[in-house]
Chain A
Amino acid sequence: MKINWFYFSSPPRFYALAGRLSPLFFALALLLATLGLYLGFFVAPTDFQQGEGYRIIFVHVPVSWMSMFIYLVIAFWSAMALVMKTRISMVMAQALVPTGALFTFLSLWTGALWGKPMWGAWWVWDARLTSELILLFLYLALMALRAAIDDERRADRACALFALVGVVNVPVIYFSVKWWNTLHQGASVSLTRAPSMASTMLAGMLVMALAAWAYTIATSLKRARTLLLEREGDSEWARRQLAGDAR
């Protein structure tokens, strides 16, 4: 049997699929987040060094993972858009950017909230924190670039090219910040390497990570649907869809 990889690259099919999947993933995200937060806040034992304050890692670590992963996904869809020239790839890349920026911002915010009681400062020039901040700049640059270009095709391709240039640079940036950091501060404070992590802690974190995944998928599909309608507003299927929504 031959699999048609491009079956869902047709906008109406994708639109229908996304419409069916996105509520499912929203429900899943809600369920997992409730479970994860319950595990994290009530089941996981109190840390003997950091007390109750450490519990913010159940939010902080999953959103940080997600913020970096989303950038990779954007780069993947951008490459697909440039090589295969499928419109859905570009819509997906565009739809993921705000979620990525949101997670990056949350990661910085929760990091600051955690840092204040742990290190006594809202902000430390730690390699990971700094890289996360630069990642936020990259997300903002992507959004600004799209906003500045009127022509949709040029905006798509310019953002795709910039996302790829960025993804090549992210490891270099991380490496250089780490180099700079170790020279200036000696060994940096480790954020995630807790001495011995209780299995409930790990479980809570993993469940929260899955919740972040589900949330990302749900929002990006939802956003992609809207973007598709906006872009293909005058095509037959989009008109039918809009008429159906109005009814």
Chain B
Amino acid sequence: MDLALVLFKRECALVLRKPGDALSAVFFFVLCTTLFALSINPEPQLLRALGPGALWVCALLASLMVVGELFESDWRDGTLEQLLLSPLPLPATVATKALARWLGSALPLVLVSPLLGLQFELSGSALLLLPFTLALGTLALVFVGSIGAALTLGLRSGSMLLSLLLLPLYIPVLIFGALAVAGAQNGSGFEAELSILAALCLLSVFFAPFASAACLELACE
């Protein structure tokens, strides 16, 4: 636990020293949603109907960016090998890094999302719900994504491959996240979708680190 804390502090320090890297995902998210709004007819009716889905797709693509660099720098400078020799079990290492990365890159995205929701004229309850679903969803996406990041570590065209591997696995989170927001938007209820999203999030936070650890060991051979 102590060691996990040390690692966590280092990861946070790295994010804070280079905030630009961490925040690029947020800029991407903001730009992407704006482009979405620009590409369609800005009729309130249409914007409201497309809003939840558009916001979610952009958040999903942004978290793909978050995940891409998860192990890359550690792998390049030899830190990963030293982490393998640390008494901290590898799944805990992965979980700590993913959590720190989520805090550094995905949480800002979650925080700005209500503002972007305004662009799509979402209703009050949908605006409130959007950050919650995004928080749960991006946490699940980052943890599941760590598997893909470990699998493609050090490969040619790794980022292309990463999206090919991860997008099919991201579909459930996308569906339930967008449905929950849409449910709040048209008042048809969102509790069921939100609970399933929370369940997906818990499952991936619990199980994904073990799979990523196995993939990381493989990448370090």
Contact = CB atoms under 8 A, between A and B. Distances in A.
Interface string A160-200: 01101110010011011101100100000000000000000
Interface in B157-184: 157-158, 161, 164-165, 167-169, 171-172, 175-176, 179
B172 A173 contact: yes
Interface centre among B152, B155, B164 (most CB of A within 10 A): B164
A161 B151 contact: yes
A180 B56 CA distance: 15
Interface residues of A, number: 28
A16 interface: no
Contact of A144 (B164, B171, B211, B215): B164
Interface of A is mostly: helix
B218 A157 contact: yes
B161 A144 contact: yes
Nearest to B214: A161
A138 to B, nearest CB: 5
A28 B193 CA distance: 48
Interface size band for B: 20 to 34
Contacts, number: 72
A25 to B, nearest CB: 31
Contact of A180 (B151, B179, B218): B179
A179 B182 CA distance: 14
A240 interface: no
A158 B155 CA distance: 12
B88 to A, nearest CB: 22
B165 to A, nearest CB: 5
A137 B167 contact: yes
B136 interface: no
B218 A141 contact: no
Interface string B82-99: 000000000000000000
B221 interface: yes
Contact of B200 (A134, A162, A172, A180): A172
Contact of B175 (A140, A151, A166, A176): A176
Contact of A176 (B158, B167, B176, B221): B176
A158 B151 contact: yes
A148 B157 contact: yes
Contact of A177 (B151, B157, B158, B175): B175
Interface string A112-135: 000000000000000000000010
